[in-house]
Amino acid sequence: MARQQKDISMSRLLSCCILIACLFAMSFCMQYSNKYTKVHAESVSTTITPFNILCICSYNYSYQTVPQHIQGLEAGLGNLSYEITYENMDTKRYYEADDIEKFHDYLAYKMDKIDASYDLIFLIDDSALRFGINYREELFGDTPIVFMGINSFSDASTSSALPDVTGIAETLDFEANYDLMQSLFPDRDEIVVLCDASNTSTGEYVEFLKFTEKHPDLNYSVLNASYYTQKGLKRALNELDEKKIIFYLDFSQDGDGNLYTIKSAAAFVNENTNHVPVIRLTMVNCTDNILGGISYSYTAAGEVAGKMAAKILNGVDADNIPLVTETITESYFYQDALDEFGISSAKLPLDSTIADEHFNLIRYYEENALILNLILLIIILLFVIIVIQAKSNRQHERMLNNDYLTQIPNRHYINQKLTQLNSTFTPYGLAMIDIDYFKHINDTYGHLMGDALLKEVGRRFAGIATKNITFARIGGDEFMMLITGSEIDNAEKICQKIRKVFEFPITIDKQKITVTLSMGCALYPSDINDPTQIMALADKALYYVKENGRNGYKLFSDL
């Protein structure tokens, strides 16, 4: 019955452990799904008319800042029901006045063709802002406008002052990057500002000049790619020495009219500089050739703009949403460049992202904490289950192999040992031991006193037991002694030692009881070649002792 209850408790414990692991796994799956599953706003309800949004981008979608802005924008709009029409000006290639006019005609034609009516206008980057503001009355009327990615602070500030216009000024964190430069490269004392004549770069350079006004002792020079031929630009970059550091603002065109993508421009800079770190102030994941920096995050800025738009579409007056001018940055670096300059990740700002980072156990745990905690919990539960099961097995084994009263080995255990020895024909000695007149003790003092006496007999046997001497209770007042190894030749001395141990009375409840033992011992193969008959010989020696006055021992070889 006790064992059945034990099995039921173990089963319940296992069930609880599995249930906890399953609940944790379900929680992980729900969080994982919430984190990575995008809810498509259009599917929220088919009865709600979606908001109609027009987004005008200065550049085409292949320009790396554009998809990052859009990704953030859509995240910021959240679960609103909306439809967005994207129009790209592509001013990196088509930026003349005639090009802008043709884009106007194209957009006006499309809007007229479908009789478009928009609930909100997004304008991304400087050229789109200027276009949108210049043609607002003609094309959009009083439709609210949200802009982002505006390098010219004056344009952003002026535009946000107009009715129903707000947005984000792209504010580069020159201060933080200057502090970073001094921390990582204290021996480099000159900043080389890399820029070009584009609207984007011009706006960034103006903000840099404002930064220098706060640092009159700042040592810097300007490398405007638009004023150099490609060959001259290569030479200028190659002449930069190890005292300089590049602040990379923007570079999309040289003086020869060659156009560069963000990635090819960064590769061009890297190929033509020798051990000069390049700090990038805008985050575009351009190439692993760039060191990185505390960079303006287009995705994060787009998300802020999307949330501003969501408020407006939900009824908040755009004039009540102020222009965002604080820096929106992420610290982003490339491992190969960090290795080139011997920079440890410990020197970088907290929460920095490192592209192609060497394996970092702490960072890996931080990025995968949920799944790793789940695995750890399962391992702990399995460990607990194994420990409990092992403990249960040990207890079961003790119950199976130990006598419940005396806690010394029982008949089952000693029979197993004998079977092992007999199967290998290993020499051993076997003694049968009875307590003399135990029935009389039971009748005189009672069964409780008899049990207490048996326990003390077992305790004294346990005090004699060694690796090669094993005692077992095989029933009632009957015990057995197994002798193996080097002790086989000492069988008689062991019997004498047992007699000596029991010369002292056993005291139970202040009652002193004198206990004597009768012992018969036989040895294999000294006494017989058949190990299955050794117990019969020991019994024969025991009966000899009993028939001759008890309180003694006899070796079968002495009969």
Which three-class secondary structure state does DSSP give residue 200? helix
Provide the mean pLDDT of the chain: 88
Q: Are 289 and 263 in contact (CB under 8 A)?
A: no
Instruction: Return the pLDDT at 23.
Output: 52
Sheet arrangement for strand 51-57: 82-88, 51-57, 120-124, 145-150, 165-169
**Which residues have C-beta within 8 Å of that of residue 433, sequence separation ≥ 6?**
478, 479, 480, 481, 498, 517, 518, 519, 542
pLDDT one-digit tens code per residue, 358-414 = 776 776 777 788 898 999 999 999 999 999 888 888 877 778 899 999 999 999 999
Q: Are 516 and 436 in contact (CB under 8 A)?
A: yes
- How far, in Å, CA of 250 to CA of 59, rounded? 14
3-class secondary structure per residue, 498-531: HHHHCCCCEEECCEEECCCEEEEEEEECCCCCCH
Which three-class secondary structure state does DSSP give residue 377? helix
**Which residues have C-beta within 8 Å of that of residue 81, sequence separation ≥ 6?**
41, 42, 44, 45, 48, 49, 50, 51
Residue-wise DSSP of 53-65: EEEEESS-TTSTH
Q: Are 139 and 113 in contact (CB under 8 A)?
A: no
Instruction: Return the pLDDT at 28.
Output: 45
Output the CA–CA distances (angstroms, integers) from residue 459 to 409, 503, 511, in the order listed.
Answer: 12, 15, 18
Q: Are 298 and 282 in contact (CB under 8 A)?
A: yes
C-alpha atoms less than 13 angstroms from C-alpha of 96 in its C-beta half-sphere:
3
Tokens 């139970």 -> residue = 508
- How far, in Å, CA of 400 to CA of 327, rounded? 74
Tokens 């787009």 -> residue = 302
Instruction: Return the pLDDT at 261.
Output: 84
- Distance from chain centroid for Cα 89: 44
Instruction: Return the pLDDT at 345.
Output: 87
pLDDT one-digit tens code per residue, 261-303 = 888 888 899 899 999 999 998 876 555 568 999 999 999 999 9
Cα angle for residues 203, 208, 210 (degrees, 5° grid): 100
Q: Are 275 and 242 in contact (CB under 8 A)?
A: yes
437: left (phi over 0), alpha (psi -120 to 50) or beta: left
| Residues with catalytic function | 477
Tokens 């031991």 -> residue = 433
Tell me the β-bridge partners of 435: 517
Best CA proximity match to 480, nearest among 419, 430, 407, 516: 430
Q: Are 332 and 353 in contact (CB under 8 A)?
A: yes
| Amino acid, res. 267 | A
CB atoms within 10 A of CB 156: 27
Residue-wise DSSP of 112-158: HHHT---SEEEEESHHHHHHHHHTIIIIITT--EEEEEE--HHHHHH
Q: Which two tokens stand for residue 556?
A: 């079968």
Tell me which H or E stretch contains 483.
Answer: strand 478-483
Q: What is the CA radius of gyration of the chain?
A: 45
Which three-class secondary structure state does DSSP give residue 187? coil
**Which residues have C-beta within 8 Å of that of residue 259, sequence separation ≥ 6?**
92, 93, 252, 253
**Which residues have C-beta within 8 Å of that of residue 77, sequence separation ≥ 6?**
41, 306, 307, 309, 310
Q: Are 198 and 191 in contact (CB under 8 A)?
A: no
pLDDT one-digit tens code per residue, 31-46 = 443 333 233 344 444 4
The model's pTM is 0.58
Instruction: Report DSSP state, residue 532.
Output: G
Output the CA–CA distances (angstroms, integers) from residue 471 to 359, 412, 466, 483, 508, in the order listed.
Answer: 59, 12, 9, 9, 22
- How far, in Å, CA of 127 to CA of 89, rounded? 8
Instruction: Return the pLDDT at 284.
Output: 66
Provide the residue-wise pLDDT of the chain in tens; the chain has 559 residues.
444 444 545 555 555 555 555 555 444 444 443 333 233 344 444 457 899 999 999 999 888 889 999 999 999 999 999 999 999 999 988 889 999 999 999 999 999 998 889 999 999 999 999 999 999 999 999 999 999 999 889 999 999 999 999 999 999 999 999 999 999 999 998 999 999 998 888 888 999 999 999 999 999 999 999 999 999 999 999 999 989 999 999 888 999 999 888 888 888 998 999 999 999 988 765 555 689 999 999 999 999 999 999 999 999 999 999 999 999 999 999 998 999 999 998 899 988 888 888 776 776 777 788 898 999 999 999 999 999 888 888 877 778 899 999 999 999 999 999 999 999 999 999 999 999 999 999 999 999 999 999 999 999 999 999 999 999 999 999 999 999 999 999 999 999 999 999 999 999 988 899 999 999 999 999 999 999 899 999 999 999 999 999 999 999 999 8
